[in-house]
Amino acid sequence: MNHEKYMRLALLQAEEASAEGEIPVGCVIADKNGNVIATGQNTRERTHSALGHAELSAIGEACRAIDDWRLDGCTIYVTLEPCPMCAGAIINARIPCVVFGAREENFGSCGSVIDLFSERYGHSPAVYGGVLEDECAALLTEFFKKIRK
């Protein structure tokens, strides 16, 4: 699959989140045929919920789209390295491939803080980090610059 193509779609989700005052994180899930079956973006501020992460939204939508909790054959694209909660959801949904953009030095669970996918959970997805990393990181940097003003 063309990881950059799908990461650009995730970046569009992140930009929409930013326009709504959310931390700009976006997510796309593609099935084994390359069809986008779900999208997600951060909604924590809008929903006042700690569960409002882009990955959780997209995973829920993907499960409904295919009518199964197992997302075998899917690839999840997210603009920011998944946190522990989202990594757990990825493991539980059995997503076989994770692609992320920017590293998350404080909560990243694909190697920045911990690599939860290398632990003995019974499911270990392939992980590709740094896809369009500069663009993903720049979106976050600009968002936080605006917040601080």
Q: First CA to last CA across the chain, in angstroms?
A: 40
Instruction: Compute the distance between CA of residue 29 and CA of residue 62 in angstroms, rounded to an integer.
Output: 7
Instruction: Compute the distance between CA of residue 127 and CA of residue 117 in angstroms, rounded to an integer.
Output: 8
Residues 6+ apart with CB under 8 A from 72: 94, 96
Active-site pick, 4, 20, 45, 55: 55
Eight-class DSSP state of 110: B
Which residues pair with residue 36 across a beta bridge? 30
The encoded tokens of residue 121 equal: 């959970």
The answer to whether 55 is a known catalytic residue is yes
Instruction: Compute the distance between CA of residue 149 and CA of residue 145 in angstroms, rounded to an integer.
Output: 7
> Which residue numbers are catalytic?
55
